[in-house]
Structure 1
Amino acid sequence: MKLSASTLTALPASVQTPAYKRKAHAPGVVHLGLGAFHRAHQAMVFDRLLTAGDTRWGIHGVGMTRPDLVDQLRAQDGLYAVRVADGQGVTWQVPGALWRMSVATTERDAVVQAIAAPTTRWVTLTVTEKGYTPALGQLLLDGLRLRQQAGLPGITIASCDNLQGNGHKLQALVKTAATTHDGELLRWLDAQCAFPCSMVDRIVPAATPEVLAAAQEALGVPDQCALSTEGFWEWVIEDRFADPADAALLRSAGVRVTSDVHSYEEAKLRMLNGSHTAMALMGAVTGRAFIADCIAQPGIRQYVHRLMSLEVAPHLKRSDWAAYRDALIERFANPHLRHSVHQIATDSSLKIPQRWPGTILSQLSCGASVDHMAFAAATWIRYALGEDEAGQAYMLNDPQAPSIMAMAKDQKNTLQSCAEALLSRQDIWGPDLPQQAVWRKRVCDWHAEILQRGLMAALDHLLASAN
């Protein structure tokens, strides 16, 4: 016995289950990147639309590299439970929007055919920052080419990853895959397909044994794909769709459709994601396992509040940033979200360029302090040692880990030269920051203090000096 279509009706009445016939129609959405975030975010939005009676939002989910996850979901008929937990309480829901599944690496043709299917109206993506490769562009273009050749209408292709201008980047990636013989295809792409920019926000930790055990207790049957998330969610998407009527439909499901995604996108990247990365690095260095453990420490909580208030917010266009900041701090403290600091610190060399340099350069341009951002950068350099302050080793899960660790390994003996070397990397800091002497000095000063006195003592000094 496990969670599946055959056991769905036997679940306790307290568990919200699909109120519509699943798989009576072909999927209308192909989603690339079948991880936890999509299943606890967009899939639940599409579940709302299906519940409202619109049968066009079933999902063909594509695992990009993980056949094990796809196999588990197939064994459960695409069903999984989501624990939604915050200060208001705990509820369990089984979304029913996931109807078909494929693995991109072993079933590529099935994915191409799914994109080209007459019933497909949308393609959505959560492949993470490192997933925007030429192979992805080629996969999408191959599916779109089949649509164009069959005389089918264009579709909406929506990136839901933490990339600024993600719709523009995705469109450029797809077009780059085209050849000189694809002129007609490109004209069709421009005329009929839409690549809206979007911002997505919900904290979805990786599943843990605790969540799986809690799911079995709540459902009465095992669920190998269960997830836990918070009550808050936000999806802001540009009003640019192949079918303009989709705007009203998405609004009815709680999505914010706007012409100004950038203001929300920038606030999320710099406030939520930027402070998340800083906290995760602090947690890793000081031996704290989860974000809730970090924000529970008064010094770290005060640091995050000041980072957002003093250095990030002055350069944002989101007018309600103060309320957003306060909500973020409460979300970080959610005890139900055991969000691993090492999970968040994954791929930092790809995330930092999106989250930190814009704030730093804006502060420098007006002669304002960059000490909170410099402390975060100094913590990242210390993190690159690969061991916490108690001497416990950890792995850097990062595509640049070998080169970063090689540059960082002797930092205890050659403080400034190691820090300067890592701060000179334009692939992380961009072309301008490495030239800023004030920035480099503040990072080097805080890095030296972190190594000599310990991170929390250095943090106390920062907070005292900022008063």
Structure 2
Amino acid sequence: MENVSDLYQHISRPVKVLQFGEGNFLRAFADYAIDVANEKNDFNGNIAVILPRAGRTDRFARQNNLYTVCLRGRRNGSVYTENRVITSIETVLSAKEEYQDFMALAHMATLEFVISNTTEAGIAFDGTDALEDCPASTFPGKLTKFLYERYRFYDGAADKGLIMLPTELNDNNGQLLRQCVLQYAAAWQLPAGFTAWLTAACVFADTLVDRIVTGYPEKEAPALFEELGYEDRLLVKAEPFALWVIGEPSVASQFPVNSEGFPVEYTDRLQAFKEQKVRILNGAHTAMVLGAYLSGLDYVGQCMSDSVIRRQLDQTVFGEIVPTVHLPKEKAKAFAQAVYERFANPFVKHALLAISLNSVSKWRARILPAFKDSLAATGRLPKWLTYSLAALLAFYRTEEAGDHCLLGQRGSNTYEIHDDAMVLQVFRESAGQVTADYVRSLMGRIDFWGEDLTQIPGFAPAVIAHLDRMAAIGVKAHIGEVGRQA
């Protein structure tokens, strides 16, 4: 079978982007977006990919830096598939084996942006790094040396600063990266003029990224190759949904990678978009999955087609969560609809038990803020966010210990409960109490929730009532009953 590079031509363009990281996510996210922008928005820019650690560049060279992104999922209510050959990578270099070539990129006049995805642990300062290291061990260390080389080559020219767009999941990732670079500049005693250039000429933008990328589909690869008509060992599979929030509005004109299928928000309200994601996407998961599992379901897709669980999800998301998001309501509703299409993706089987991990901290981060905002706005306990805590307490209620987990029972099936060891110990020791005492003792754990939840009027009695009713008629029947209530 022919290779992708036998059928498609690489397109050379000016190198505008330096990218730290060659992994699946960046290739299906940023590189895809730039490729579409080259076609649709006249971006006219390619990417120099840097392998930040020791790695092989020959797998890219064998395919002339071409590869395919296969999108599989739902869009606008219908099953959606797309196979796009990416032509936006100009070169791939190893920071270690090709250090001089890597640093020479700092001299390129066309360069404007730095994109990275080096894991959350990647944006860190290491005091053992030295200016003489070729390269430094950390990504911020490599970036500092690169920026310093550019500063010296262009004699501190104000128009030769770069825009940093880290995609790591750290909070305030751009500012964290900026702090690390400044820390290296100070530790290495670099000139004050360089620090001033970093501040005045360079931009470190906070970002938020969202796309599920499943990577190279080993088992499906032969069938995909037959479908495509060529072999591609760099092929990467992802969902159609994507969102890139860039917390620097001024970047919009310089980095026009927004397109119909790949929305990019250039905003000074990045935290509101993060809140939207955490409350709607993550919060919907946390509010739904534990009770759905106890009701006999195993996958998110099943929940979307089950009338009882789907009604719970609708009432939770649109009735209780969306109104608490601090963005225009229509924008939040549109995001929620996109989340539904992601949950219903027929190409992904997302196990409820996988989502159940560490549910105590997830409930605190994802549900409690929306619960409190809803209560403050309406003066009433939101029925489904209240129920979600009861579902958590029901799911975790067991005295049986497993190997670094607790063991719960769903009918004749045993399931594993995974959380922090101390959390599991507290639940195990509390499980044998009568329901009212069990609920109040756990809701009173300030170390779990950040506050004593029993101090919220009516909350504990409502949770107790949910648990009692679940025990009396079953979890699924109770969900159906609550769904029919006004």
Range class of TM-score, shorter chain:
0.7 to 0.9
SS at 1:94 equivalent: strand
Among 43, 51, 70, which residue is 2:31 paired with?
A: 43
Q: 1:327 to 1:100 in 2, by over 3 A?
A: same
Q: 1:425 to 1:387 in 2, by over 3 A?
A: same
Matched, 1:318 2:309: no
Q: 1:230 to 1:440 in 2, by over 3 A?
A: same
Among 413, 418, 426, which residue is 1:391 paired with?
A: 413
Partner of 1:13: none
Partner of 2:366: 355
Question: Shift of the alpha carbon at 1:404?
Answer: 3.5
Question: Shift of the alpha carbon at 1:312?
Answer: 1.4
Question: Shift of the alpha carbon at 1:206?
Answer: 6.2
Question: Shift of the alpha carbon at 1:308?
Answer: 1.7
Question: Shift of the alpha carbon at 1:127?
Answer: 5.7
Among 19, 22, 32, which residue is 1:30 paired with?
A: 19
Separation of aligned partners in 2, 1:261 and 1:229:
24
Superposed CA deviations along residues 372-415 of structure 1, whole A, max 9, x for unmatched, are 2233344445267455625344574xxx6434433334554246
Partner of 1:424: 445
Partner of 1:370: 382
Separation of aligned partners in 2, 1:267 and 1:456:
28
Partner of 1:246: 254
Among 296, 299, 304, which residue is 2:308 paired with?
A: 299
Matched, 1:290 2:299: yes
Question: Shift of the alpha carbon at 1:45?
Answer: 0.4
Separation of aligned partners in 1, 2:73 and 2:473:
38
Q: 1:378 to 1:139 in 2, by over 3 A?
A: farther
Matched, 1:156 2:176: no
Partner of 1:329: 340
Among 64, 67, 70, which residue is 1:79 paired with?
A: 67
Question: Shift of the alpha carbon at 1:359?
Answer: 1.0
RMSD: 4.6
Partner of 1:122: 113
Q: Is the 8 A contact 1:83 1:90 kept in 2?
A: yes
TM-score by length of 1: 0.73
Q: Is the 8 A contact 1:450 1:458 kept in 2?
A: yes
SS at 2:387 equivalent: helix
Q: Unaligned stretches of 5+ in structure 2?
A: 127-135, 155-159, 397-404
Question: Shift of the alpha carbon at 1:275?
Answer: 1.0
Question: Shift of the alpha carbon at 1:314?
Answer: 2.1
Partner of 1:236: 245
Q: Is the 8 A contact 2:279 2:367 kept in 1?
A: yes
Task: Name the aligned partner's letter for residue 371 of structure 1.
Answer: K
TM-score by length of 2: 0.71
Matched, 1:97 2:106: no
Q: Is the 8 A contact 1:82 1:226 kept in 2?
A: yes
Task: Name the aligned partner's letter for residue 274 of structure 2.
Answer: E
Q: 1:166 to 1:246 in 2, by over 3 A?
A: same
Q: Is the 8 A contact 1:85 1:230 kept in 2?
A: yes
Higher strand share: 2
Q: 1:98 to 1:388 in 2, by over 3 A?
A: farther
Separation of aligned partners in 2, 1:353 and 1:74:
47
Partner of 1:12: none
Which of the pair has more CA radius of gyration? 2
Separation of aligned partners in 2, 1:58 and 1:328:
30
Higher mean displacement: 264-273 or 451-460: 451-460
Matched, 1:56 2:45: yes
SS at 1:21 equivalent: coil
Partner of 1:140: 140
Q: Is the 8 A contact 1:137 1:176 kept in 2?
A: no
SS at 2:421 equivalent: helix
Superposed CA deviations along residues 152-210 of structure 1, whole A, max 9, x for unmatched, are 64322224456665544554565567756578355433222223233434444566566
Partner of 1:189: 198
Task: Name the aligned partner's letter for residue 266 of structure 1.
Answer: E
Separation of aligned partners in 2, 1:64 and 1:394:
36
Q: Is the 8 A contact 1:61 1:98 kept in 2?
A: no
Q: Is the 8 A contact 2:17 2:47 kept in 1?
A: yes
Q: 1:109 to 1:227 in 2, by over 3 A?
A: closer
Task: Name the aligned partner's letter for residue 280 of structure 2.
Answer: M
Q: 1:145 to 1:71 in 2, by over 3 A?
A: closer
Separation of aligned partners in 1, 2:59 and 2:460:
48
Q: Is the 8 A contact 2:28 2:213 kept in 1?
A: yes
Q: Is the 8 A contact 2:16 2:113 kept in 1?
A: no
Q: Is the 8 A contact 1:386 1:405 kept in 2?
A: no
Percent identity (aligned) = 18
Q: 1:33 to 1:150 in 2, by over 3 A?
A: closer
Separation of aligned partners in 1, 2:225 and 2:356:
30
SS at 1:368 equivalent: coil
Superposed CA deviations along residues 22-78 of structure 1, whole A, max 9, x for unmatched, are 6x7657231448244x3332221011234466453325265889x79x997787656
Separation of aligned partners in 2, 1:380 and 1:221:
48
Question: Shift of the alpha carbon at 1:311?
Answer: 1.9
Aligned residues: 444
Partner of 1:457: 477
Separation of aligned partners in 2, 1:31 and 1:346:
31
Q: 1:219 to 1:401 in 2, by over 3 A?
A: farther
Partner of 1:21: 11
Task: Name the aligned partner's letter for residue 276 of structure 2.
Answer: A
SS at 2:19 equivalent: strand
